Amino acid sequence: MDTSGIINQLMALETQPIAALQNQQTTNNNKQAAWLSLTTMLNTLQNAAQAIENPATFMGTTASFTNGVAGNPSILNLNATANIAPGSHGITVGALAQQQETVGAQGYSSTTTAISGLTSLAITNTASGKTTAFNQTTLEGLQSAINAANIGVRATVVNTAASGATPNYVMQLAAANSGAVNAFTVSTNGSASGAKTGTLDFANSASEATSLGGSSAYASAVDAALTVDGISIKRSSNNITDIIPGLSMSLTALGSGTINLSNDVATTVKNITNFVAAYDSVTSFINAQETYDPTAATQPPLFADSTLQTIQTTLQGVFSGAGTGIGNTSNAYGSMSDVGINTNYFQGNTITVDTNALTQALQANPTALQNLFTPSASGTGAASTYSFVSSLGNATPGVYASTMDSAGILTMQLKGAGAAVTMTNAGNGYFTGPAGSALDGVVLLASSTAAGTGTWTFSGGAALMVDARVKNFSSYNGGLITTAENSLTQNNQDLQTQIGRINARAAQMKTTLQQQFTNLEKQLASLQAQGQYLTQQLNYLPGWTMPRTSNNSTA
């Protein structure tokens, strides 16, 4: 009997459900791969949104310098780091900042030999008047002690002798930073000559040679001196960041000219185009997942997935204007289409950008265009004193009725819907929307807390709201995609548990069947042996003839 073949067939029947479970795991894996692809695209979209969501950095600035004398080299380098009002500024650089350097005129042949008569050296910061004394008596000792003290003065021992000649070591002291505020004076005490101020003179008597030669200021501490739009300015450094906010200047030479500041339209258009392209990638992916192909053996992994449909609807709501409040009449541009960004409703709600129209809109009214992508607000009545500060992107855009009572409690209510929101008073005129409310995370500054009513119009900004929604999609705490992925992972684990149980049951069944068939074969062998024995015994009986079996019968 082919017991092995019989057992294998029974095992195949017992484990047959595993194939269906493994197919479900494959389906789940394909869904997880699709979610991973979408997450990657959403991350790209989020990065693109973050490049244009901040009102302070939405519009870059191009800075250039025109020399007052044609053909002369530039006198400074410029770097614009934030939104700066376009315009021109005249500038004249009359002096460059430099650090003080003091060098001894007399040298030593050794850095470790004690300087005869020297008992101490003191360095005094001219601006603060703070004095630090050093009791070392060798050049090497002074160098180490001064540098270790970290007092804003660096000490260096320099060999000024020609190559191969007897060494001639001199002391050099240099301010760590430029400007008059970092100037210093030096004084020494000798055993015979007493104190000497303002030099590196280590002589111990008037008749002796000056050990370090009555030092001189090799370079004086000087402030940078410049005039900007007729205003005289001094700075201790040539690297200046606080004259025109957002503009860094590095002075390199003396001279005059004009600083030209203009909106960086090209970069802003590129950033917006990148944002739209990233959105389109997400939209195209979702459209492909939701497209039914009657000729295909299988449909896309996320076909008819409700979570995917929610993501699509949420993002489309932002761009349609319903989610951003960009339709407010307070803004010169009421919709994306006003600036050349159009939704193709018959092509899967993809978006195209007319770069010429976008460029013209940006040049004509950069603030209004910025308000389409970054959060903004405006008010009337008492609300006209409420300045928008920031938003997390979770608030509901729209027109709010505002009420400030006599106790300084500010209440906002979205017109036509929603409960009243009592803003949290953070002090100093700042109010914050409570978590979970219609104005969740919105911060405003009230210049007046006098009682009054008004209207406050809030626009969420498409870029910030897309960023916030993508964060919510992928949040580890209840995000749509995270929940879907976790569900698939758990389902795969449950399926694997079922597969394990079936395999364990089949293995036990196989062991049982093998034992049963082994016992059966033993019994059959025993019966066969008994039959043979009986046949032999019967053959010994007198007159016994083994019956013959025949398929033929007689009538």
From CA 358, how far away is CA 273, in angstroms rounded? 9
- CA distances for 506 relative to 16, 74, 145, 188, angstroms: 10, 85, 83, 97
C-beta separation of 534 from 546 below 8 A:
no
Residues 406 and 448 in one domain: yes
- Give the dihedral sign, CA 503/506/511/512: positive
Give the model confidence (pLDDT) of 218-251 as tens digits: 688 999 999 999 999 999 999 999 999 889 999 9
3-state SS, residue 10: helix
One domain, residues 299 and 368: yes
**Which tens digits make up the pLDDT trace of 347-394?**
888 899 999 999 999 999 998 999 999 999 989 999 999 999 999 888
Q: Would you place residue 546 in the very low, low, confident or very high pLDDT band (cuts 50, 70, 90)?
A: low
Would the CA dihedral through 378, 379, 380, 382 be positive or negative? Answer: negative
Write the secondary structure of 457-501 as one string of H (helix), E (strand) and C (coil): EEECCHHHHHHHHHHHHCCCCCCHHHHHHHHHHHHHHHHHHHHHH
Please identify, among 438, 459, 480, the residue that sits at the C-terminal boundary of a domain.
Answer: 459
Alpha-carbon gap, residue 517 to 511, rounded angstroms: 10
Q: In what order do the strands lie in the sheet with 224-228?
A: 61-67, 255-263, 87-95, 224-228, 231-235
Q: Which of 219, 239, 254 lies at the terminal end of a domain, its last residue?
A: 219
In this structure, what token pair is assigned to residue 477? 């705490």
Residue 307 has pLDDT above 90, yes or no: yes
Q: Give the per-residue pLDDT at 424.
A: 94
pLDDT in tens, 389-416: 999 888 988 889 999 999 999 999 998 7
Asked whether residue 128 is assigned to any structural domain, the reply reads yes
Residue 218 — φ and ψ, nearest 5°?
A: -65, -35
Query: End-to-end alpha-carbon separation of the chain, Å?
Result: 38
Residue pLDDT, tens place only, 32-82: 999 999 999 999 999 999 999 999 889 989 999 998 777 777 899 999 977
Cα(93)–Cα(255) distance, integer angstroms:
5
Please tell me whether residues 210 and 154 are part of one structural domain.
yes
- Number of structural domains (the chain) is 4
Residues 397, 401, 405, 407: what is their CA dihedral angle, to the nearest 10 degrees?
-10
Same domain, 389 and 359: no
Q: 314: exposed, middle or buried (C-beta count within 10 Å: 0-12, 13-18, 19+)?
A: middle
What is the per-residue DSSP string for 403-430? EE-TTS-EEEEETTSS--EE-EEEETTE
Q: Which of 227, 220, 225, 290 is nearest to 258 (CA)?
A: 227
* Whether the predicted pLDDT of 217 surpasses 80: no
Does 464 fall in a domain?
A: no
Q: Give the per-residue pLDDT at 330.
A: 63
In a domain, 504, yes or no: no
Phi, psi values for residue 190, rounded to 5°: -115, 160
Residue 410 · residue 422 · CB < 8 Å: yes
The predicted pLDDT at position 262 comes to 92
Could you tell me if residue 406 is inside a domain?
Answer: yes
* pLDDT level of residue 206 (50, 70, 90 thresholds): very low
Domain membership flag for residue 322: yes
Q: Is residue 424 part of a domain?
A: yes
Of 205, 204, 185, 197, nearest to 119 by C-alpha is 204
Greater model confidence, 524 or 470: 470
CA dist 315 and 463 (Å) reads 11
The pLDDT assigned to 198 comes to: 47
Beta bridge partners of 424: 432
pLDDT in tens, 129-142: 999 999 988 999 99
Q: What is the pLDDT of residue 205?
A: 31
- Based on the fold, state whether residues 244 and 180 are members of the same structural domain: no
Do 323 and 368 have their domain in common? yes
If asked whether residues 144 and 239 sit together in one domain, one would say: no
193 within domain boundaries? yes
Q: Which two tokens stand for residue 430?
A: 């700042």
Q: Give the confidence band of 17 by pLDDT, cuts at 50, 70, 90.
A: very high
Kindly list the distances between the CA atom of residue 363 and the CA atoms of 130, 247, 260, in Å, as whole numbers in the listed order.
55, 21, 17
Query: Phi and psi dihedrals of 39, rounded to 5?
Result: -60, -40
Domain that holds residue 87: 61-97+223-263
Do 211 and 258 reside in the same domain of the chain? no
Of the two residues 172 and 214, the one the predictor is more confident about is 172
On whether both 289 and 359 belong to a single domain, the answer is yes
The token pair that represents 330 in the structure block = 């307070």
Dihedral, CA atoms, 329, 430, 242, 375, nearest 10 degrees?
-30
- Residues 248-261: what's their mean pLDDT? 95
pLDDT in tens, 150-200: 999 999 999 989 999 999 998 899 999 999 999 998 887 754 444 444 455
The confidence score (pLDDT) of residue 10 equals: 84
> Is residue 80 a contact partner of residue 57, using CB atoms and an 8 Å limit?
no
User: What percent of the chain is modeled with pLDDT above 90?
Assistant: 58
Is residue 308 assigned to a domain? yes
Looking at the fold, whether 238 and 326 belong to one and the same domain comes out as: no
Quick one: DSSP state of residue 3? Answer: H
Question: Are 114 and 205 found together in one domain?
Answer: yes
* Model confidence pLDDT, tens digit, residues 62-72: 999 998 777 77
Q: 332 is written with which tokens? A: 């010169």
Domain boundary among 432, 459, 486: 459
Amino acid at 444: L
In this prediction, residue 56 carries a pLDDT of 86
User: pLDDT tens for residues 477-532?
Assistant: 889 999 999 999 999 999 999 999 999 998 888 888 888 878 887 788 888 888 88
**pLDDT tens string 315-324:** 998 887 655 6
Q: Which residues contact 553 (CB under 8 A, 6 or more apart)?
A: none
As beta bridge partners, residue 66 has 258
Spatial distance between the Cα atoms of 114 and 136, rounded to a whole number of angstroms:
9
Average per-residue pLDDT for the chain: 87
pLDDT of residue 171: 87
Question: Does residue 390 share a domain with residue 367?
Answer: no
